[in-house]
A = this chain, B = another copy of it.
Amino acid sequence: MEREFILYSSKGFTAPFDLNDLTKGRMDLVARCISAAFFISYGIRENTIFHVFLNGPPDPPRQITLKGVKSMGFLPDEKSIAKRLNEILKFGENLELNKEIRIGNIKIAKKSFENFLKKLQGKKIIYLHRRGKDVRSYKFPEKFVVIVGGHRGLPQKTEKFLERLGADKVSLGRIEYSASHCITILHNELDRRFG
Residues of chain A whose beta carbon lies under 8 Å from any beta carbon of chain B:
21-23, 28-29, 32, 35-36, 39-43, 75-80, 150-152, 172-178, 181, 184-185, 187-188, 191-192, 195
Contact = CB atoms under 8 A, between A and B. Distances in A.
Give the copy number.
2
A77 B83 CA distance: 15
B22 A176 contact: no
A33 B32 CA distance: 12
Nearest to A152: B41
A181 B178 contact: no
Contact of A174 (B35, B173, B175, B195): B195
A188 to B, nearest CB: 5
A75 B184 CA distance: 20
